[in-house]
C-alpha cells in the first residue's frame, strides 16, 4: 500500500505497512511477522545469506543500481579489522521521498535489514545516516532502535546467537553531497562531507579506514522479505535485469502524487495516467524526469513507451536513478525549472573540484541570464560545452549530474530557450 494513496496494481512488500501506526512499535512489528527473517539469517552461514541476496538480483536503490549481493561479497572475509555497514538514509535528490516514509512507517524493517546485512558481512557496527532535516522520522527510528536494544535484538548477543551488532542513528546536518557514499563516510568521520577518490573502494578502505559497505535504506529494507521468501520469489516481479519491486516517488503535476510500490519495468504511461490518476486538470504532458533531478528529461513522446526498469529507462534516453518521477505538464516553464535545478547543484557543490565548483556556478549564471531575457543563442552552445566538460572530470558525480538535465532540455525544448532569447517570451509562466 502506497502512501498517501494506494492502487490495486501495487505490489506492497516494503510499503505494506505504510500508514499503519502499529507497525512502528516493536510489539506491532513482531505481530506482523517482524524479525523472523533475521532469525532465519542467523541460522544460516553469512555466505549463504549473500548467496540468497545474489540470487534475488536485488540492485542498489540509491541510483546506481549496482547488484547488492555482489557488493556484499566484496567485503574481506578476515575479521582482523572491524567492518562497518552504513545505511544511507540521507535522501536529498530532488524528487525523492521514499526513505522518509520507510523511516517513519517501518523503522523495524530497516533495522532488520541492517542486521541481516551486518551479519552477512561480519560488521559489528551499523550506522544509519539519516538526513538532518528528518527530525521526526529520525526520532521514530531512534525509538525503534532503543526498543530493539531493550529486547535483545541489538547489542552484544543478537537474538541469542552470540553475534554482536550495534546500531547507531546518525543525524546529518543538511548537505546533499553527504548522500554520495564517500561524502557520507567523510561526514560520519566528523569531517566536511567531501567525497574522496575511489579507489581505494570502501570495501577495502572505508569509514575510519576500515572495510565498509554502504547501502541505500530502500535496499536494506528489501532484504528481510527476500531472506524470508528466497531469491527466486523476488524475481517473480520485475524484469530479468531489474528484478523485484521499487518504490516510485511520483511528484509534480499529477492528480495523486505519492509513493507507489510497483514491479520494475512498469510502464511510465500507466504510472502517470492510471496509478496517479492522470494529469492535474487533465492538461497535456510536456516532460517527465524519470529518476530525480540529475537525469535527462524525457519528452512526452519518449515517455509514451518508456518502461520503468534500469535498462528500460536507459533505452528511452535517460536513467532510472532512484525512480523519482517528476511529471511536468504543458504549462511548465522548462527554462525556469532547469535553472532551479542548476542552482541547486551550484548550492550543493562541495567545492573541491574546479569543473564542478566553477561549472555549476557558471551554468546557473548563464541560465539565469537566459531566463531574464538577456541571453544569446551562443549561450546555448556554451552551456552544452561547459556541461560536457563537467562530465567525468571530478571526484564524484555531482558535477556529472548537471549535464543531463541541461543538455536534454536544450536538445528537446530548444524552442523554449529560443523564444526567451529572441522574443523574451516565456512559456507557461502565467
- By the rule CB under 8 A, 340 interacts with other proteins: yes
Q: Identify the residue among 57, 243, 258, 317 touching other proteins (CB under 8 A).
A: 258
Which lies closer to other proteins via its Cβ, residue 32 or residue 40? 32
Residues 388-427, interacting with other proteins (CB under 8 A): none
Number of residues that bind other proteins (CB under 8 A): 80
Nearest-approach distance from CB 398 to other proteins, in angstroms:
13
Cα pseudo-dihedral 92, 96, 101, 103, rounded to 10: -30
Which lies closer to other proteins via its Cβ, residue 188 or residue 420? 188
Across 297-335, b (16+ Cβ under 10 Å) vs e yields bbbbebbeebbbbbbbbeebbbbbbbbbbbbbbeebbbb
Nearest-approach distance from CB 180 to other proteins, in angstroms:
14
Which lies closer to other proteins via its Cβ, residue 309 or residue 332? 332
Nearest-approach distance from CB 229 to other proteins, in angstroms:
27
Residues 319-338, interacting with other proteins (CB under 8 A): 324, 326, 328, 332, 336-337
Nearest-approach distance from CB 134 to other proteins, in angstroms:
7
Nearest-approach distance from CB 249 to other proteins, in angstroms:
6
Beta-bridge mates of residue 287: 299, 328
Q: Determine contact, residues 16/1, Cβ cutoff 8 Å.
A: yes
Residues 212-251, interacting with other proteins (CB under 8 A): 249-251
- By the rule CB under 8 A, 17 interacts with other proteins: no
Residues 276-315, interacting with other proteins (CB under 8 A): 289, 293
φ, ψ dihedrals at 155, nearest 5°: 115, -150
Residues 261-280, interacting with other proteins (CB under 8 A): none
Q: Distance between CA 306 and CA 268 in Å, rounded?
A: 6
Nearest-approach distance from CB 335 to other proteins, in angstroms:
13
Alpha carbons within 13 A on the beta-carbon side of 261: 22
Nearest-approach distance from CB 106 to other proteins, in angstroms:
12
- By the rule CB under 8 A, 361 interacts with other proteins: no
Residues 132-191, interacting with other proteins (CB under 8 A): 132-136, 138-146, 149-150, 154, 166-176, 187-191
Which lies closer to other proteins via its Cβ, residue 56 or residue 387? 387
- By the rule CB under 8 A, 79 interacts with other proteins: no
User: In which residue are the cell numbers 523519482 written?
Assistant: 324
Residues 80-139, interacting with other proteins (CB under 8 A): 82, 91-97, 99-101, 104-105, 130-136, 138-139
Q: Identify the residue among 8, 21, 378, 423 touching other proteins (CB under 8 A).
A: 21
Nearest-approach distance from CB 239 to other proteins, in angstroms:
25
Nearest-approach distance from CB 171 to other proteins, in angstroms:
5
Which lies closer to other proteins via its Cβ, residue 146 or residue 240? 146
Q: Identify the residue among 72, 266, 344, 413 touching other proteins (CB under 8 A).
A: 344
Q: Identify the residue among 46, 69, 224, 257 touching other proteins (CB under 8 A).
A: 257
Which lies closer to other proteins via its Cβ, residue 60 or residue 193? 193
Nearest-approach distance from CB 31 to other proteins, in angstroms:
15
Q: Identify the residue among 10, 218, 348, 371 touching other proteins (CB under 8 A).
A: 348
Amino acid at each position: 500500500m502506497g502512501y498517501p494513496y494506494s492502487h490495486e496494481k501495487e505490489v506492497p512488500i516494503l510499503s505494506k505497512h505504510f500508514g499503519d501506526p502499529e507497525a512502528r512499535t516493536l510489539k506491532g512489528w513482531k505481530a506482523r511477522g517482524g524479525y523472523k527473517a533475521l532469525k532465519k539469517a542467523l541460522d544460516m552461514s553469512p555466505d549463504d545469506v549473500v548467496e540468497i541476496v545474489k540470487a534475488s538480483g536485488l540492485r542498489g536503490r540509491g541510483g546506481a543500481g549496482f547488484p547488492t549481493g555482489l557488493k556484499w561479497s566484496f567485503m574481506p572475509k578476515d575479521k582482523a579489522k572491524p567492518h562497518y555497514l552504513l545505511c544511507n538514509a540521507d535522501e536529498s535528490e530532488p524528487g525523492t521521498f521514499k526513505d522518509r516514509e520507510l523511516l517513519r512507517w517501518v523503522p523495524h524493517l530497516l533495522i532488520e535489514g541492517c542486521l541481516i546485512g551486518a551479519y552477512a558481512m561480519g560488521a559489528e557496527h551499523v550506522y544509519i545516516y539519516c538526513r538532518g532535516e528528518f527530525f521526526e522520522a529520525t526520532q521514530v527510528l531512534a525509538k525503534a532502535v532503543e526498543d530493539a536494544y531493550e529486547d535483545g535484538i541489538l547489542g552484544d548477543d543478537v537474538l541469542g546467537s552470540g553475534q554482536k551488532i550495534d546500531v547507531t542513528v546518525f543525524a546529518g546536518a543538511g548537505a546533499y553531497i553527504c548522500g554520495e557514499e564517500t561524502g557520507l563516510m567523510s561526514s560520519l568521520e566528523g569531517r566536511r562531507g567531501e567525497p574522496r577518490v575511489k579507489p581505494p573502494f570502501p570495501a577495502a578502505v572505508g569509514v575510519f579506514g576500515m572495510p565498509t559497505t554502504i547501502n541505500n535504506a530502500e535496499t536494506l529494507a528489501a532484504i528481510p522479505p527476500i531472506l524470508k521468501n528466497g531469491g527466486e520469489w523476488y524475481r517473480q516481479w520485475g524484469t530479468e535485469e531489474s528484478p523485484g519491486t521499487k518504490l516510485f516517488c511520483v511528484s509534480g503535476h499529477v492528480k495523486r502524487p505519492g509513493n507507489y510500490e510497483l514491479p520494475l519495468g512498469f510502464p511510465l504511461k500507466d504510472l502517470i495516467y492510471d496509478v496517479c490518476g492522470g494529469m492535474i486538470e487533465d492538461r497535456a504532458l510536456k516532460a517527465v524526469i524519470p529518476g530525480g533531478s540529475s537525469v535527462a528529461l524525457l519528452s512526452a513522446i519518449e515517455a509514451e513507451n518508456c518502461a520503468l526498469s534500469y535498462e528500460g529507462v536507459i533505452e528511452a534516453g535517460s536513467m532510472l536513478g532512484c525512480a523519482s518521477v517528476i511529471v511536468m505538464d504543458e504549462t511548465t516553464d522548462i527554462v525556469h525549472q532547469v535553472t532551479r535545478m542548476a542552482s541547486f547543484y551550484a548550492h550543493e557543490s562541495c567545492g573541491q573540484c574546479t569543473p564542478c565548483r566553477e561549472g555549476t556556478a557558471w551554468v546557473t549564471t548563464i541560465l539565469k541570464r537566459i531566463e531574464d531575457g538577456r541571453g544569446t543563442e551562443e549561450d546555448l552552445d556554451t552551456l552544452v560545452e561547459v556541461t560536457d566538460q563537467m562530465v567525468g572530470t571530478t571526484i564524484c558525480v555531482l558535477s556529472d549530474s548537471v549535464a543531463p538535465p541541461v543538455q536534454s532540455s536544450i536538445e528537446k525544448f530548444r524552442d523554449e530557450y529560443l523564444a526567451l532569447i529572441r522574443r523574451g517570451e516565456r512559456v507557461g509562466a502565467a
